[in-house]
Every structure is written in C-alpha cells, then in structure tokens.
C-alpha cells in the first residue's frame, strides 16, 4: 500500500547513494520537483535511467549526482544539446560519467520486460546500427521457431522509479493521463517507486480503460504541485517552452549553471522549477 510521505522523506527513504534510478515521463510529466529534491539531498553515484535525459538529468549530472546514465536520446527537445551531459562526457566535469546508450525501441521494450518480470526484451531492432559495437548490453539471438535474428537487451529493473502524475485518490491509486510514456512500466519494473502528484482527490473519476496504477503497486506518494514544470502536466498546465530555450544559455556555462542551481534548487527548499520560469 502506498504511503503518503513528504517529497523530502520519500527521497530520503528510497533514493540511496549508488542506487539505480529511473525518473520517467516522455517529455510530459517529467518529475522535476523530485529531481531537485535528489539534488538537494546530494545523492551521489547514481545510475540514472531515462529514455530522454532532458534537462532534468542535465541538472542532476551537472550537480554531480550521476555515475552512469542509460538513455536513448540525450538532447534538449527542439532546442539543441544538453550542455551538462556533454561537458561530463566530453570534459569530465564535474566528474567523468559512464554512458550506455540504446535506441528508444530498445529502452521501451526493456522497461516493458522489467514490468513483466522477464530478464530480457526481444525485438526486431538495431539492424545495421553500430550501437551494438559500443554497448555490450546489446546482443542478438536467434528465434527458436523461425531462425530470425532478433535484438535482445536486458530488462530495466531500477532500485527506484520516480514518476509524476495528475492525481492520486486517498487509497493511493494514481491516474496518469495524456502522453503516458513508460510511466506504468517504470513503476512496475522497479523494486520501489515514488509517485509525485498534483493533488489528492476523493475520486479519480477514471474511465474503465484509463491508465490507473493501483496504490498497492506503489511505495510512496508525495504531493508536488506543479512538480513537472518546466515540463507539463496534461490538464493542469502547459510546457514552458520558454524555459527549455533559456536553459540552453544557463547550462552552456559552468558558472551560470552553478549559480542557477544555488539560487533555484539549493536555496529555496520550497522552490521547484515552476517558480523559476
């Protein structure tokens, strides 16, 4: 049964140094408030998994939380590069990080396989790509029935997955609406999970086929109003495209990044991206 905790307590309990962490949300519902809490608690040596690292992982990498990043598309969507990710990979600032890169199809299948309790995902992929030559977690197997050569990757099984959603009811059941990404798969694949929500309601008012994650499949729920900004929450607020564009200048330079982090993440514990954009 999901426990209702403050975001501080949820992160303190479930995100340990050295943990494998997936913060998901496919350009929507990105759990920025939770990411900032991880930065404030100065977690270190994390293996960060996310299909699209986005500026949330740019911030965690620049803040020195990451040891390794597993991803499939590492850019600032529609804007350009993730400068903190690049600085860590190209110049080793604030320290060298290891990267393991996949394609989207591989990662989506790996999350799904994790949720299904399987050790691997099998799919028709990576044909002719050189990614298998730089990622030893990509293998090929032969279909035992047809002989077709298929790609295989290990399933994703994070120590903790963190996602943001619209709302939870008082039993901790969570409704996710809009672009649902791999939210449900990330929760079900992980040993522990934290869901931040915009609000707690008496009745989810979900239609029969809605994406609802039962409270008993979640470890902790924390209320984080506007917790996805500068990404967005369908039905609540839009994406701050302006901030995504501004991030390019902030993150390009180590000093402006450090200053931004100090002012917006470390100094104001109540702050989240929503108040900075």
Q: Which residues bind another protein (CB under 8 A)?
A: 26-28, 51-52, 71-75, 77-79, 81-82, 85-86, 89-90, 101-105, 108-109, 111-112, 123-131, 134, 148, 178-182, 184-185, 211, 232, 234, 238-242, 244-245
Please tell me the distance from the alpha carbon of residue 233 to that of residue 230, in angstroms, as a whole number: 10
For another protein, the closer of residues 112 and 169 by Cβ is 112
Number of H helices, E strands in the chain: 8, 15
Nearest to 193 by CA among 169, 164, 154, 168: 164
Q: Which residues of 183-203 are buried (b: 16+ CB within 10 A; e: fewer)?
A: bbbbbbbbebbbbbbbeeeee
| Smallest distance from another protein to CB 149, Å | 8
For another protein, the closer of residues 37 and 54 by Cβ is 54
For another protein, the closer of residues 215 and 274 by Cβ is 274
Q: What is the DSSP string of 117-169?
A: T-SEEEES--TT-SGGGT-TT-EEEE-TTT--EEEEEEPP--SEEEEEEEEEE
Nearest to 156 by CA among 191, 116, 114: 114
Please tell me the distance from the alpha carbon of residue 193 to that of residue 24, in angstroms, as a whole number: 11
| Smallest distance from another protein to CB 105, Å | 4
Write down the H helix ranges in the chain. 7-14, 32-40, 54-62, 83-91, 104-115, 183-189, 241-252, 254-261
For another protein, the closer of residues 3 and 77 by Cβ is 77
| Smallest distance from another protein to CB 56, Å | 13
| Smallest distance from another protein to CB 130, Å | 4
For another protein, the closer of residues 60 and 180 by Cβ is 180
| Smallest distance from another protein to CB 4, Å | 26
Give me the residue label for tokens 């109003």: 225
For another protein, the closer of residues 105 and 204 by Cβ is 105
Instruction: Classify 217 as helix, strand or coil.
Output: helix
- For β-strands 220-223 and 192-201, DSSP reports them as parallel
Please state, in angstroms and as integers, the Cα–Cα distance from residue 69 to each residue in 41, 159, 161, following that order.
19, 14, 14
| Smallest distance from another protein to CB 13, Å | 28
| Smallest distance from another protein to CB 132, Å | 10
For another protein, the closer of residues 15 and 85 by Cβ is 85
For another protein, the closer of residues 191 and 245 by Cβ is 245
| Smallest distance from another protein to CB 156, Å | 11
Element (H, E) at 223: strand 220-223
């Amino acid at each position: 049964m999901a426990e209702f905790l403050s975001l501080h307590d949820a992160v303190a309990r479930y995100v340990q140094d050295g943990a494998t962490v997936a913060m998901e949300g496919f350009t929507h519902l990105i759990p920025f408030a939770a990411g900032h809490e991880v930065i404030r608690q100065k977690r270190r040596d994390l293996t960060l998994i996310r299909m699209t690292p986005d500026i949330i992982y740019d911030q965690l990498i620049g803040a020195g939380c990451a040891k390794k990043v597993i991803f499939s598309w590492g850019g600032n969507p529609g804007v350009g590069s993730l400068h903190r990710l690049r600085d860590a990979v190209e110049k080793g600032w604030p320290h060298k990080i290891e990267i393991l890169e996949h394609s989207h199809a591989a990662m989506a299948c790996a999350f799904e396989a994790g949720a299904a309790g399987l050790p691997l995902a099998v799919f028709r992929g990576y044909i002719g790509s050189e990614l298998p030559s730089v990622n030893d977690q990509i293998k090929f197997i032969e279909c035992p029935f047809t002989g077709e050569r298929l790609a295989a990757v290990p399933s994703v099984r994070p120590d903790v997955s963190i996602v943001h959603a619209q709302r939870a009811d008082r039993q901790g059941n969570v409704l996710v609406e809009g672009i649902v990404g791999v939210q449900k798969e990330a929760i079900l694949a992980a040993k522990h999970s934290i869901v931040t929500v915009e609000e707690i309601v008496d009745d989810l008012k979900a239609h029969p086929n809605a994406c609802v994650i039962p409270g008993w499949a979640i470890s902790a729920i924390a209320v984080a109003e506007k917790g996805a900004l500068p990404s967005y929450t369908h039905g609540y607020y839009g994406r701050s495209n302006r901030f995504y564009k501004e991030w390019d200048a902030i993150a390009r330079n180590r000093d402006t990044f450090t200053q931004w982090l100090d002012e917006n993440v470390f100094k104001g514990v109540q702050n989240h991206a929503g108040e900075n954009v």
